[in-house]
Amino acid sequence: FSNSGAEANEGAIKLARIRTGKTEFIACEDGFHGRTMASLACTHKPAIREPFLPLNPRCSFVPYGDAEAIRKAINKDTAGVIIEPIQGEAGVIIPQEGYLREVREICDEKDVLLILDEVETGIGRTGKWFAYQHEKIQPDIVSLAKGIASGFPMGAIIARDGLEFSKSEHGSTFAGGPVACAAAIATLDVVEEVLPSVAEKGARIKKALSAHDTRVAGLMVGVTIGDSCSKVQQACMEKGVLVNCAAHGNIRLVPPLVISPEEIDRGCEVIDAAIRSVC
């Protein structure tokens, strides 16, 4: 366990390094993995990464959605490939179907670990427990946080058999503390209950915002706005609806999975009106 998403990725990177004995990683352009040193090394955004150069581990970046670019970037020192199944901070960028499957095959062929950062996409966000389940693959390591304990600080690293930390290789005083675990257990019960409704709720948002350029994966929604994104954000806030401007002028909507149909309709009404008034 960990206390945040960045720490979960920190652990995933350590685990990949220690079990493979290799030191380098491949990540994607526009990808976000956190702000601690190793997770930052695999985070692409130059504005937050470059002030801290040189960073460790060494990470090379390839275009998101291009599996062949990953194949080309792998070298003898590559320990793992770390990617988001859907890029969140980048503006909810959903790759073509088959991308993760292809990356999985390349990692198998080249004998490098596939680390999926499901900090944003995990715990039911896309309508399945993990986003990778849509592609029917098995990653080697998965990092989780955000929704795992309904906002209580917690993260987790899951790894396949044979990829465990040995005693004293990793740990943290508060990680997996009883209050966080109680919050997570309670959350998982609720997610289990609402999971079957997530796809339907996402479809409701898609329909309500059909006049706009949306990308929807369960309750993870991107709306391309462009330069006026922050004005739309402001207009929504004035009507009591909080939305987030992610990268490249995209609004990112990640409502709680327990959101009701009525709340969806009300929220989308405000967002639709805000886009129409500003753009």
Ligand X SMILES: Cc1ncc(COP(=O)(O)O)c(C=O)c1O
**Under the rule (CB under 6 A), what is the footprint of ligand X?**
4-6, 9, 32-34, 84, 88-89, 117, 119-120, 145
Instruction: Give the nearest distance from C-beta 155 to ligand X in angstroms.
Output: 6
What do you get for the CA distance between the two ends of the chain, in Å? 44
Q: Is 80 helix (H, G, I), strand (E, B) or coil?
A: strand
**Beta pairing partners, 279:** none
**C-alpha–C-alpha distance, residues 23 and 25, integer Å:** 7
Q: Give start and end residues of each alpha helix (H) in the chain.
A: 5-20, 37-41, 46-49, 67-73, 99-110, 178-208, 229-238, 261-278
By C-beta, is 229 or 254 nearer to ligand X? 254
Residue among 154 and 235 whose Cβ is closer to ligand X: 154
Residue 3 Cβ, how far from ligand X at the closest point, in Å? 8
3-state secondary structure 131-173: HHHHHCCCCCEEEECHHHHCCCCCEEEEECCCCCCCCCCCCCC
Residue 84 · residue 95 · CB < 8 Å: no
CA distances 176 to 10, 14, 165, 184, 188, Å, are 16, 18, 15, 10, 15
Residue nearest to ligand X (CB): 5
Q: Which residues pair with 81 in a beta bridge?
A: 26, 114
- In terms of C-beta density within 10 A (0-12 exposed, 13-18 middle, 19 or more buried), how is residue 77 classed? middle
Q: Which of 32, 61, 140, 201 is catalytic?
A: 32
Active site residue 165: no
Closest separation in Å from C-beta 4 to ligand X: 4
Closer by beta carbon to ligand X, 84 or else 102:
84
Please pick, among 25, 61, 117, 140, the residue that the annotation labels catalytic.
117
DSSP letters for 254-270: ---TT--HHHHHHHHHH
In the complex with ligand X, the residue whose CB is nearer, 88 or 218, is 88
Active site annotation includes 32: yes
Which H or E element spans position 216?
A: strand 213-217
> Which active-site residues does the annotation give?
32, 117, 146
